[in-house]
């Protein structure tokens, strides 16, 4: 069963978490108990395909779901045809997540070969199929916020699915041109793009407020696709098991991972994998000048900012991290009362202080790096010269952090965020040239865009949904 981080909502099964993000008490759903893999079980993953690993891991998260249906969804989500957008000749789409050895114990996990060229396809392709299983023909209104990649991945995962409408909020003028074209270029009666006059955090705040209105949520069957959705986090755990199995094989040795971090969903999935027994030694939280999480992991103070700093890695341009509550819940050993008090204090004072818990925080193995814009450009250039690869700005943040914290003898894995063609301006500034998108997307930039521009207003968003649901 799954419980709320704030302890006042009824326990629910996995199927319920597929559809819902925020619990009725304002908390986030987490498993009541984390399943533990034995060392021998992890060694036996070596040589298995991505779908085989996914079935083993997802079975642990979803014991209440029909196994045949769950495995069927996994088989349909993870095919070489869906994840065909490989960028290197040595990468094989059959792997779904190719792992490239760069040298000197440094590896790159290629997570962005899916239909929208971002790592978020790996979770959202599965989530789309899970929605169909759980809904069983009932309509659903998916509500989400995006800084660029979640929106396109969610829209393309839900497109064409019967009785599933998507309402996606994005910050007007704050995504890359490629991201905007991917999201806003979809012309479909079931897809509704709301371009918000504000930041990603404004979008996220509206989504949380709408989703937090229990009566509205139930009346219009509002579902979630952001990383507050536990099923999406669970699907992300899979690729950590797969990547580790590819690097360590049957030797059972440890790895370190460097994770580009904004809303704390991806690195939280790595943390869950570690709790399940995966031999991850250190988790390197890699972020940019929007360093609210870096401040926490160096001082113990969590202090959301009043505004974001715009950077070349927009998915990290956040003032607060929506998944962070789950980690704090784990730090306090599942004490929901303490978590509820901390978030009440956060609402009242704008911060909380866990400096007295730094020893416990360090025990979790998470360390952080904040990377500046000039270092991002330098790292993009370094990766091209040293390894012959072009990486996007978010991945560059993780690679810079990885190189500067790597310790001899332990494989360090950089987790890719997206393909570089999605951020042509940053690539042009760093390398002097741009990277072409896959041939299937060559006309994307000239596609007409379809959206409604609005201020970040909760009631106006509800009215927009009422009129179209």
Active site residues: 120
For the residues of 89-105, what is the DSSP string, one character each? TT--GGGSS-EEEEETT
The helix (run of H) or strand (run of E) holding residue 30 is strand 29-31
Our measurement of the distance from residue 400's CA atom to the centroid of its chain's CA atoms, rounded to an integer in Å, reads: 20
Bridge-based pairing of strands 191-196 and 164-171 is parallel
Q: First and final CA of the chain: distance in angstroms?
A: 30
Convert 377-392 to b/e letters by CB count within 10 Å (16 or more is b): bebbbbbbeebebbbb
Those residues with Cβ within 8 angstroms of residue 121's Cβ, 6 or more apart along the chain or in another chain: 82, 83, 112, 114, 115, 153, 156, 157
Distance in angstroms (rounded) separating the CA atoms of residues 149 and 225: 12
List 29's β-bridge partners, or say none.
4
Distance in angstroms (rounded) separating the CA atoms of residues 197 and 92: 41
**For the chain, how long is the longest CA-to-CA vector?**
59
Q: Which region holds residue 198: left if phi is over 0, alpha if psi is between -120 and 50, else beta?
A: left
Closest CA to 76 of 91, 92, 54: 54
Closest CA to 369 of 304, 286, 247: 286
Q: Which region holds residue 316: left if phi is over 0, alpha if psi is between -120 and 50, else beta?
A: alpha
Closest CA to 170 of 55, 306, 317: 317
């Amino acid at each position: 069963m799954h419980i709320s981080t704030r302890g006042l909502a009824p326990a629910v099964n996995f199927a319920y978490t597929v559809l819902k993000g925020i619990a009725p008490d304002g908390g986030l759903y987490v498993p009541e108990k984390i399943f533990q893999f034995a060392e021998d079980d992890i060694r036996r993953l070596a040589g298995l395909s991505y779908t085989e690993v996914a079935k083993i891991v997802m079975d642990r998260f979803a014991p209440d779901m029909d196994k045949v249906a769950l495995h069927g969804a996994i088989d349909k989500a993870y095919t070489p045809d869906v994840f065909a957008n490989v960028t290197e000749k040595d990468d094989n789409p059959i792997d779904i997540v190719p792992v490239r050895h760069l040298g000197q114990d440094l590896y790159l996990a290629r997570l962005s070969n899916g239909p929208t060229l971002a790592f978020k396809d790996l979770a959202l392709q599965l989530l789309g199929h899970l929605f169909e299983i759980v809904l069983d023909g009932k309509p659903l209104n998916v509500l989400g916020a995006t800084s660029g990649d979640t929106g396109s991945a969610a829209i393309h995962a839900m497109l064409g699915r019967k009785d599933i409408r998507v309402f996606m909020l994005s910050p007007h003028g704050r995504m890359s041109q490629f991201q905007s074209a991917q999201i806003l270029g979809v012309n479909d009666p079931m897809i509704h793009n709301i371009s918000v006059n504000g930041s990603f955090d404004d979008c996220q705040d509206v989504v949380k407020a709408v989703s937090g209105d229990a009566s509205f949520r139930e009346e219009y069957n509002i579902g979630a696709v952001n990383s507050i959705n536990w099923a999406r986090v669970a699907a992300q755990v899979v690729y950590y098991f797969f990547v580790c199995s590819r690097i360590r094989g049957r030797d059972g040795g440890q790895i370190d991972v460097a994770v580009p971090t904004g809303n704390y969903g991806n690195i939280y999935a790595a943390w869950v994998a570690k709790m399940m027994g995966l031999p991850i030694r250190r988790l390197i939280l890699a972020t940019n000048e929007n360093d609210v999480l870096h401040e926490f992991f160096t001082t113990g103070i969590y202090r959301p900012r009043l505004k974001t700093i715009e950077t070349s890695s927009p998915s990290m341009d956040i003032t607060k991290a929506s998944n962070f509550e789950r980690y704090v819940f784990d730090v306090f050993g599942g004490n929901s009362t303490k978590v509820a008090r901390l978030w009440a204090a956060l609402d009242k004072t704008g911060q909380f202080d866990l400096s007295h818990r730094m020893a416990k925080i360090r025990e979790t193995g998470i360390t952080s790096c904040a990377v500046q814009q000039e270092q991002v450009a330098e790292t993009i250039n370094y990766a091209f010269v040293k390894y012959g690869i072009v990486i996007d700005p978010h991945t560059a943040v993780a690679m810079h952090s990885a190189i500067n914290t790597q310790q001899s003898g332990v494989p360090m894995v950089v987790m890719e965020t997206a393909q570089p063609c999605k951020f042509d301006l940053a690539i042009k500034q760093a390398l002097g040239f741009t990277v072409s998108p896959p041939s299937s997307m060559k006309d994307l930039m000239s596609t007409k865009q379809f959206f409604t521009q609005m201020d970040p207003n909760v009631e106006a968003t509800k009215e927009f949904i009422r009129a179209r649901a």
